[in-house]
Structure 1
């Protein structure tokens, strides 16, 4: 498998780490979720590299990007990081794929800077927000995994988790890299899941958007989809059967088949 080339860039005043998978054609930028360092998406980056260049970023406070108490971990700071990263390392407006928290970051960045992206792929974005239902993946469960990792018990905690299973090689990587996630960043992400308005960003991101939802896990409900389609009648929605929130790990064959359809649909 193409494992990509790791590198750092200083952008938006911080050290940002990324994996680059070189290919032909227009670039793709992947923004992972709340406790997902870039390395957990390298199989997706390698798949994209068969036809185009793909860059997977470590969001601040995760992986090998800068972290620490001196940083603002809020949504706006992360969105500005993404904008600065694309200007520094990509240039051409890419297709941006954001998963979970990464989808919220991507939507905010493109809502503020419409010329930043060619198009967006939003994968199971948290739809919680002011006056809305609570994000269904509890903060306590996420923090429990991080704290177990810090004790050297990540593998045991993942095996005991009620979350849907990952393929063992990916699960091993996950256990190894959980300690790279700053708990302060997780708290900030959950606060913004409930305090920031994703639907306003969706309406303001004036580029073609595809939404990929999991059938299981309850992150994006049918009612959420209907509201999104009222805001964006051009939104293309796919719900993948039999998978949960981490669909890129649980069933990559199904996930990549949908990504191929997205690329065709966006003429990308």
Structure 2
């Protein structure tokens, strides 16, 4: 049984954040759920579909994609159960991948570059490996490498749900900073206002998937060009994990952003954006 939509919290101040974002809302229906996207333009550049992480609505990637619009035409997805997108009955990799395929077809994106962070990186890998839609390249940023026979995902479900409860109660940037002290202040403020829009069911099911679905089942089949970017201090993609990924997909490039953890873009925006720009120049 799915979580009632009214339990997701999206306040007027959160919606007002959209007025400051240089993007247009787009909508695609995927086998029922209505999916919301932020389209940054400009037309004429190579399209890039961005798939965020487990508790990251599309607007939280604004500070990243603003720095890429001279290279690509970014479109950022509110993954089902987050932001303005509907929830659904399933939150497994196959379902998420189907949503991305629906977006590519619905928006008529021609061979888009797919960029995903964390959960989004897993989804991007699945879409590319399935090859049901043409893709121009993939950028996977710190994909969870936990799974069957591997260690647990480093952040507990209880930690995710505790932060969600704070957001639904009414959190602020100072409280967010207690969990994410390195983040820029604006990103702490956006998380405080937008985290409550995430479905509890989506978080629970996705976290379970981090440990029941194997990233390495899809990763070796992801075609070139593909790049895996990881935080140098990430507990999610460790040095050993990065080495295993390089061996499992020899056609891939592996790029480290030194001094960053799992939240690579948030921990060092300039370095992470620079690494991403370098990658995109080779694809666009």
Which residue does 2:216 correspond to in 1?
199
Displacement of 1:216 in angstroms is 1.8
Q: Does 1:181 align with 2:198?
A: yes
Displacement of 1:206 in angstroms is 2.0
Out of 31, 48, 52, which is 1:32 matched to? 52
Q: Does 1:9 align with 2:28?
A: yes
- Give secondary structure in 2 for the equivalent of 1:3: coil
How many Å separate the matches in 2 of 1:201 and 1:19?
A: 27
Which residue does 1:170 correspond to in 2?
187
Q: Is the 8 A contact 2:101 2:133 kept in 1?
A: no
Q: Is the 8 A contact 1:94 1:118 kept in 2?
A: yes
Q: Is the 8 A contact 2:57 2:82 kept in 1?
A: yes
1:49-93 CA-partner distances (Å, limit 9, x unpaired): 2232110000000000002xx521122111100011111114301
Displacement of 1:98 in angstroms is 0.5
- Give secondary structure in 2 for the equivalent of 1:129: coil
- Give secondary structure in 2 for the equivalent of 1:187: helix
- Give secondary structure in 2 for the equivalent of 1:261: helix
Q: Does 1:75 align with 2:93?
A: yes
The runs of 4+ residues in structure 1 deviating greater than 3 Å are 154-157
Out of 231, 236, 248, which is 2:265 matched to? 248
Displacement of 1:116 in angstroms is 2.9
CA pair 93-19 structure 1, distance change in 2 beyond 3 A? same
Which residue does 2:229 correspond to in 1?
212
How many Å separate the matches in 1 of 2:248 and 2:129?
A: 14
How many Å separate the matches in 2 of 1:261 and 1:39?
A: 23
Out of 58, 69, 74, which is 2:78 matched to? 58
Q: Does 1:125 align with 2:143?
A: yes
Displacement of 1:5 in angstroms is 1.2
Unaligned runs of 5+ in 2: 1-19
Q: Is the 8 A contact 2:147 2:210 kept in 1?
A: yes
Displacement of 1:185 in angstroms is 0.4
Question: Which sits farther off after the overlay, 107-116 or 245-254?
Answer: 107-116
Which residue does 1:116 correspond to in 2?
134
How many Å separate the matches in 2 of 1:154 and 1:12?
A: 36
TM-score normalised over the length of structure 2? 0.88
Question: Which sits farther off after the overlay, 128-137 or 204-213?
Answer: 204-213
Displacement of 1:115 in angstroms is 4.4
The count of aligned residue pairs is 264
How many Å separate the matches in 2 of 1:115 and 1:16?
A: 18
